[in-house]
Structure 1
Amino acid sequence: MHCFILGLGHIGKALAQALKAQGHQVSGSTTTPDKVAALSALVDQVHVLKGEEQDKLAAAAAGCDLIIVTVAPNVRQTRSKEEREQHYRQVLQLSCEHAAAVCPRVIFLSSFSVYGDGGEGSAPISEQTPTANHDEPSSKYYQAAERAVLQHASGCVLRYPDMYGAPGDMDFPTRVKMALEYFAGKAVFSADAPLYAIHFEDVVASVLHAVNSDLTGIFNVCDNEKVPYSNQQVFDAICREHGWQPLEFLGQIKAPNRKISAEKIYATGYKVQQPDPNAHWVER
């Protein structure tokens, strides 16, 4: 099978190595010309392009059997709603629209942000829960990207919480410190939302599972057995530990306010392996 990975970042590189080891032909993209030489050791061909560049993507992925869209917004370009509006549309919606125009089999790495706060009720949030927060760009354009992928019956959307643990990735105290220094101590998300997080190795494993099991449709991917502590519980604990001023939670980006069910993907044989990385901050 010929696989094209749109976005050879940490997730994309790990996927490329695993897919090559399984005997697949793998090509992919980067937006940085200086990375081509190093990436060429991992894939059969590297293309310099952005997902919004329709003609370049069409040429690079022509004839492929599968496109995996791993691109994600750069947080430093999303400080205001106006910045998020432009950046999320370019990175998410246009990438998926253009990928789906090239190949009907697309796997898109999406986000729990599409649920907003999950709406009313106390039942676990599942793939059947309506999407929400339609005016906030960080949710709206993930939803638009999902629709582009799911217009084909062979499309697959994997919804994830915050990802951590990639080589060189910021740990959670560093993220809090960045919020204090770069965003004036303000966090755009909700205080009471459980801080779901998933290790990048579990992300890679779940995508490979989707490829090898030929999954289609929508799947939540997270620990199905434990609900994590809230954003405020974790980040307040981190701030206390380091003697920092607590963050101010603006609630501009609503996040699920209760358990998220991953029962659907667990039923296919996949299970998260890495434990909650933040429980120890609260339980000290």
Structure 2
Amino acid sequence: MHAMILGAGYSGKAIAHALQAHIPQISGTTRSPDKAEQLEKLGIKPFVFNGEELSETLRDAFSNVTHLIQSIAPNDAGDPLLRLIGDAQLQSLMPKLQWVCYLSTVGVYGDHGGEWVNEDTACRPVSVRSVQRVAAEDAWMAQTKTSGIPLSILRLSGIYGPGRNVFRNLENGTARRLVKKDQVFNRIRVEDIGTACTLLLTRKADGIFNVTDSEPCPPQDVVTYAAQLMGVEPPPEQDFETAELTAMARSFYGENKRVSNRRLQDMGFHFRYPDYRKSLLQMWEDKVWQD
């Protein structure tokens, strides 16, 4: 078996780590040759892919791929791999392919006024990037339906974990406690993404799955709790309406919903980090938040 991770970044590396006990050969792509050595140290065979062309080396690797994890974000031109395939089927590039995983986002649901959503909820994307994700999801569903290959779409909430978390933000002075009435977010620990992907791979699951924690909450609560663990004063609360924010940062607050993970749990998946308190406490006590 050979798993290929297109876009072996933060989430992709966590997936590779989780898969290493199940898949003997794991490869991953990176845009920069400078990052190839890092992937190799993690047991991931590196390939350079800029999203614009497929090298002969990468095409040769694809010929033996049995499991594909696509983590590269789409753009206005669509999904980078499907754009390069064109009207051809996946098997023309990966004749041994058995299963595909597409990493998407809960942003595809759009704004639901703080109400609960699940995988059957209609998508009402607000931001351009979420509109692109919906289009990419549809394209992958069409491609795999034609090819007869099972597809798992993982809709991820806000990703955090070692090296990328609120402790780091407090340490470098970028943490903010923005307060918007009734605003909540879900989030997901990166290691849980890896183990969820592994479960779905072993089941050759077909469908859409929300990979998200079990406790949507106001974002300022997370900052307050992390500051308490660090023994530092949290930053002052700021009113969202009057705070200076980039357009992208402000757009995140335009979507308010509670995302259910019941479908994944019903498959027997157990979140190691079901809420932010358990997760942050583990990172702080085990001293893994910096790396």
TM-score, structure 2 length as denominator? Answer: 0.71
Opposite residue 252 of structure 1, the aligned amino acid is S
Distance 1:246 1:235 in 2: 15
| CA deviation profile, 1:17-56 (whole Å, cap 9, x unmatched) | 3333324322111122122233224446311112x22423
Distance 2:173 2:125 in 1: 27
| CA deviation profile, 1:172-228 (whole Å, cap 9, x unmatched) | 671895477xxxx9x8x976432211111111111111111111110112234xx43
State the secondary structure of the residue aligned to 1:207.
helix
Which aligned pairs between 1:26-37 and structure 2 lie closer than 5 A?
A: 26-37=26-37
Q: CA RMSD in A?
A: 3.7
In the alignment, which of 150, 169, 174 is matched to residue 169 of structure 2?
174
Q: Which residue number in structure 2 is paired with residue 216 of structure 1?
A: 206
Distance 1:220 1:256, change over 3 A: farther
Distance 1:192 1:177, change over 3 A: farther
Q: Shift of the alpha carbon at 1:58?
A: 4.4
Distance 1:10 1:133, change over 3 A: closer
Contact 1:117 1:254 in 2 (8 A): no
In the alignment, which of 110, 127, 130 is matched to residue 116 of structure 1?
110
State the secondary structure of the residue aligned to 2:234.
helix
Q: Structure 1 unaligned runs (5+)? A: 73-87
Q: Structure 2 unaligned runs (5+)? A: 281-291
Q: Which residue number in structure 1 is paired with residue 80 of structure 2?
A: 94
Q: Which residue number in structure 1 is paired with residue 288 of structure 2?
A: none
User: Are positions 1:12 and 2:23 aligned together?
Assistant: no
User: Are positions 1:143 and 2:139 aligned together?
Assistant: no
Distance 1:42 1:234 in 2: 30
Opposite residue 216 of structure 2, the aligned amino acid is P
State the identity as a percent.
28
Q: Shift of the alpha carbon at 1:246?
A: 4.9
Q: Which residue number in structure 2 is paired with residue 84 of structure 1?
A: none
Equivalent residues, number: 253
State the secondary structure of the residue aligned to 2:188.
strand
State the secondary structure of the residue aligned to 1:16.
helix
Distance 1:236 1:26, change over 3 A: closer
Distance 1:34 1:91 in 2: 26
Contact 1:150 1:217 in 2 (8 A): no
Opposite residue 68 of structure 1, the aligned amino acid is I
Q: Shift of the alpha carbon at 1:12?
A: 2.2
Q: Which has the larger radius of gyration?
A: 2
User: Are positions 1:161 and 2:157 aligned together?
Assistant: yes
Distance 1:233 1:10, change over 3 A: closer
Distance 1:60 1:255 in 2: 41
Distance 1:27 1:90, change over 3 A: farther
Distance 1:190 1:198 in 2: 21
Distance 1:198 1:212 in 2: 21
Opposite residue 272 of structure 1, the aligned amino acid is F
Distance 1:126 1:36 in 2: 37
